[in-house]
């Protein structure tokens, strides 16, 4: 009968219940947040005259000792303590005696866990932003080298129009920038202190919620306690933010996997970030992007898991809520290692610019340019120009020659309004550089885009 809540019970909890009920084996990850929360709460209680200065000193010393014990590995995490909150408070009381029992005045585990978990999630939102920026920096470094490197731009995975490789990477920079905005936005929206809400209804003690919010770095104090102790939107938001970021990472990974194949041959991942086969000696496998793609699914699972846990809960706190942590911890750790390894894989990969460029000479990538030429130089309506160009493409297929290399005489045969100056328009580089509209692929536009991302990353 060593439970903190054992007063109204006459028999002790079964071992089976201890195992089923406990979160201490994973919520111990929040020990720093928990101790900081307790220190803030104790300081506030002392300022309000609820604890004496001497009692505060004892509690502060005791909590510091508990922290040292945890950090040195001495602390004994016991499943019978149920969660880290009770494990730490119990140890505090064992160290300092009865004063330890005063710490929980005007507090419940419901606001305590809301503080701890929220602060962990807030911190992780910002740490992931930093890691995303490091990844973006590395993408910019590669992109800078390839503003002139042609690569087939695709729709439906079919050759569409020539673009440059930096422009292609710029698409991912845009996605990562949006991801950062989502993490920052969640941070701002959720930076609100639950401390002082107690179990659900607030407390009759004269607490100063502003003070603890201030000490713990929260922007403000929550408005409605009933909501606050059962709100896990902050956890859902980071799961959604990570899921969306992983979806972007997964799309890039899919491309890296394809580009690493012999069929594409656009990149080669470094030996350090590739793996071999246990049977086929020639294999060099892109396990890193494949796993990134795979881990995306697992992160989505955590998002779906928590949404489902939350959907039927009556107000306010319910024990179901304890299921909020493992999925978030797993998603955060997955995000952290994914960002790091993707950055390294990109930094060390070889870009095979020649192969990218030769792939552009297949599939009549400048067909749209011929149609645009007919519109611009020959005053032919676009629909008709589209049809004429289709016939030129068919001729190319018949001759087995790409439109960009087709002899002028064949084009003239198809439509006599076509003049010799068409040849320039059919060039692949010309095609890419002609797309100068804002946000377009022309090298000068791509360079502007990279400047935009560089400025953003420098915080300008
Ligand atoms: N371990 C619990 C959790 O993670 C802490 C809050 C428990 N509160 C309670 N009234 N049982 O949610």
Rounded to the nearest angstrom, the distance between the alpha carbon of 35 and the centre of ligand 1 is 16
Residue identified by tokens 């701890």 is: 116
Rounded to the nearest angstrom, the distance between the alpha carbon of 323 and the centre of ligand 1 is 10
Tell which atom from ligand 1 comes closest to the C-alpha of 325.
4
| Model confidence pLDDT, tens digit, residues 129-142 | 999 999 999 999 99
- Dihedral sign from CA coordinates of 248, 252, 253, 257: positive
322 pLDDT exceeds 70?
yes
| Model confidence pLDDT, tens digit, residues 391-450 | 999 999 999 999 999 999 999 999 999 999 999 999 999 999 999 999 999 999 999 999
The CA distances from residue 72 to 65, 83, 282, in Å, are 10, 20, 47
Q: What SS3 class is residue 82?
A: coil
Instruction: Report yes or no: 141 and 347 within 8 Å, Cβ to Cβ.
Output: yes
Say what percent of the chain tops pLDDT 90.
94
Instruction: Report yes or no: 449 and 440 within 8 Å, Cβ to Cβ.
Output: no
DSSP for 260-307 reads TSTTT--EE--GGG-B--SS-TT--B-HHHHHHHHHHHHHHHHHHHHH
Tell which atom from ligand 1 comes closest to the C-alpha of 321.
12
Average of per-residue pLDDT across 334-360: 98
Pairing of strands 267-268, 350-351: antiparallel
| Model confidence pLDDT, tens digit, residues 6-34 | 888 888 889 999 999 999 999 999 999 99
Ligand 1 interacting residues, C-beta cut-off 6 A: 23, 27, 83, 109-110, 113, 317, 319, 321-322
Q: How confident is the model at residue 105 (pLDDT cuts 50, 70, 90)?
A: very high
Query: CB-based burial of residue 123 (10 Å sphere; 0-12 exposed, 13-18 middle, 19+ buried)?
Result: middle
- Which residues lie below 8 Å from residue 139, measured CB to CB, with a gap of 6+? 169, 172, 173, 176, 346
Tell which atom from ligand 1 comes closest to the C-alpha of 199.
10
Tell which atom from ligand 1 comes closest to the C-alpha of 317.
10
Please choose from 21, 29, 83 the residue to mutate so as to test ligand 1's pocket, defined by most ligand atoms within 8 A of CB.
83
Please choose from 322, 323, 327, 329 the residue to mutate so as to test ligand 1's pocket, defined by most ligand atoms within 8 A of CB.
322
d(CA 369, CA 402): 13
CA-closest candidate to residue 95, choices 67, 137, 129, 121: 67
Instruction: Report yes or no: 160 and 240 within 8 Å, Cβ to Cβ.
Output: no
Rounded to the nearest angstrom, the distance between the alpha carbon of 203 and the centre of ligand 1 is 18
Q: What is the phi-psi region of residue 49: left when phi exceeds 0, alpha when psi lies from -120 to 50, beta otherwise?
A: left
Q: What is the pTM assigned to this prediction?
A: 0.96
Rounded to the nearest angstrom, the distance between the alpha carbon of 299 and the centre of ligand 1 is 24
Rounded to the nearest angstrom, the distance between the alpha carbon of 27 and the centre of ligand 1 is 10
Q: What SS3 class is residue 48?
A: coil
The CA distances from residue 307 to 67, 157, 231, in Å, are 33, 34, 12
Q: How confident is the model at residue 222 (pLDDT cuts 50, 70, 90)?
A: very high
Query: For the CA atoms of 40, 41, 45, 47, what is the dihedral angle to 10 degrees?
Result: 20
d(CA 97, CA 250): 53
Query: For the CA atoms of 339, 340, 343, 344, what is the dihedral angle to 10 degrees?
Result: -150
Q: What SS3 class is residue 197?
A: coil
Q: What SS3 class is residue 193?
A: strand
What pLDDT score was predicted for residue 1? 60
Please choose from 13, 84, 113, 200 the residue to mutate so as to test ligand 1's pocket, defined by most ligand atoms within 8 A of CB.
113
Average of per-residue pLDDT across 337-346: 98
In this structure, the residue with its CA closest to atom 2 of ligand 1 is 322
What pLDDT score was predicted for residue 283? 84
d(CA 94, CA 143): 59
| Model confidence pLDDT, tens digit, residues 267-312 | 999 999 988 888 888 888 999 999 999 999 999 999 999 999 999 9
d(CA 16, CA 60): 35
In this structure, the residue with its CA closest to atom 3 of ligand 1 is 322
In this structure, the residue with its CA closest to atom 1 of ligand 1 is 83
Instruction: Report yes or no: 263 and 203 within 8 Å, Cβ to Cβ.
Output: no
Number of residues assigned to the chain: 460
The CA distances from residue 439 to 138, 167, 174, 281, in Å, are 21, 9, 11, 45
Q: How confident is the model at residue 454 (pLDDT cuts 50, 70, 90)?
A: very high
Element containing residue 364 per DSSP (H, E): none
What pLDDT score was predicted for residue 246? 98
In this structure, the residue with its CA closest to atom 11 of ligand 1 is 319
d(CA 310, CA 300): 16
Rounded to the nearest angstrom, the distance between the alpha carbon of 65 and the centre of ligand 1 is 24
Average of per-residue pLDDT across 313-333: 98
Average of per-residue pLDDT across 153-169: 97
Question: Which residue numbers are catalytic?
Answer: 156, 277
Rounded to the nearest angstrom, the distance between the alpha carbon of 80 and the centre of ligand 1 is 14
Instruction: Report yes or no: 63 and 39 within 8 Å, Cβ to Cβ.
Output: yes
What pLDDT score was predicted for residue 303? 98
**Could you tell me the two tokens for 114?**
């809301």
Element containing residue 69 per DSSP (H, E): helix 53-72
Rounded to the nearest angstrom, the distance between the alpha carbon of 109 and the centre of ligand 1 is 6
| Model confidence pLDDT, tens digit, residues 203-214 | 999 999 999 999
């Amino acid at each position: 009968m060593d439970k903190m809540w054992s007063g109204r019970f006459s028999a002790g909890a079964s071992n089976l219940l201890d195992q089923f009920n406990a979160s201490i084996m994973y919520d111990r990850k929040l020990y720093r947040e928990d101790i900081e929360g307790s220190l803030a709460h104790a300081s506030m209680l002392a300022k309000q005259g609820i604890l004496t200065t001497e009692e505060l000193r004892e509690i502060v010393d005791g909590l510091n000792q508990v922290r040292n014990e945890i950090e040195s590995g001495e602390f004994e995490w016991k499943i019978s303590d149920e969660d880290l909150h009770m494990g730490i408070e119990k140890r505090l009381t064992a160290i300092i005696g009865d004063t330890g029992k005063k710490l929980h005045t005007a507090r419940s585990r419901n606001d305590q866990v809301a503080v701890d978990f929220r602060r962990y999630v807030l911190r992780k939102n910002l740490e992931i932003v930093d890691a995303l920026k490091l990844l973006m920096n590395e993408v910019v470094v590669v992109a800078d080298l390839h503003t002139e490197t042609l690569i087939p731009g695709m729709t439906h995975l079919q050759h569409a129009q020539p673009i440059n490789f930096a422009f292609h990477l710029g698409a991912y920079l845009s996605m990562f920038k949006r991801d950062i905005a989502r993490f920052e936005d969640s941070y701002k929206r959720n930076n609100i202190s639950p401390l002082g809400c107690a179990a659900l209804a607030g407390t009759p003690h004269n607490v100063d919620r502003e003070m603890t919010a201030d000490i713990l770095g929260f922007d403000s104090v929550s408005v409605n306690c009933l909501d606050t102790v059962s709100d896990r939107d902050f956890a859902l938001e980071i799961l959604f933010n990570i899921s969306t970021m992983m979806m972007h990472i997964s799309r890039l990974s899919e491309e890296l996997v394809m580009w690493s194949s012999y069929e594409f041959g656009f990149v080669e991942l470094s030996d350090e970030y590739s793996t071999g086969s246990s049977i086929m000696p020639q294999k060099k496998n892109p396990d890193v992007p494949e796993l990134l793609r795979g881990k995306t699914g697992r992160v989505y699972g955590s998002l779906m898991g928590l949404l489902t846990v939350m959907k039927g809960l009556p107000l306010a706190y319910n024990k179901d809520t304890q299921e909020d942590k493992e999925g978030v911890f797993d998603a955060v750790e997955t995000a952290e290692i994914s960002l790091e390894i993707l950055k390294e894989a990109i930094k060390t990969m070889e870009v095979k610019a020649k192969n990218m460029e030769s792939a552009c000479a297949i599939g009549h990538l400048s067909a749209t340019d011929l149609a645009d030429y007919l519109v611009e130089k020959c005053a032919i309506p676009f629909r008709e120009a589209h049809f004429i160009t289709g016939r030129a493409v068919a001729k190319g297929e018949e001759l087995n020659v790409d439109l960009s290399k087709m002899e002028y005489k064949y084009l003239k045969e198809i439509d006599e309004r076509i003049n010799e100056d068409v040849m320039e328009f059919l060039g692949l580089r010309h095609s890419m550089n002609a797309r100068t509209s804002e946000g377009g692929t022309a090298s000068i536009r791509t360079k502007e885009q990279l400047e935009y991302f560089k400025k953003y990353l420098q915080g300008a």
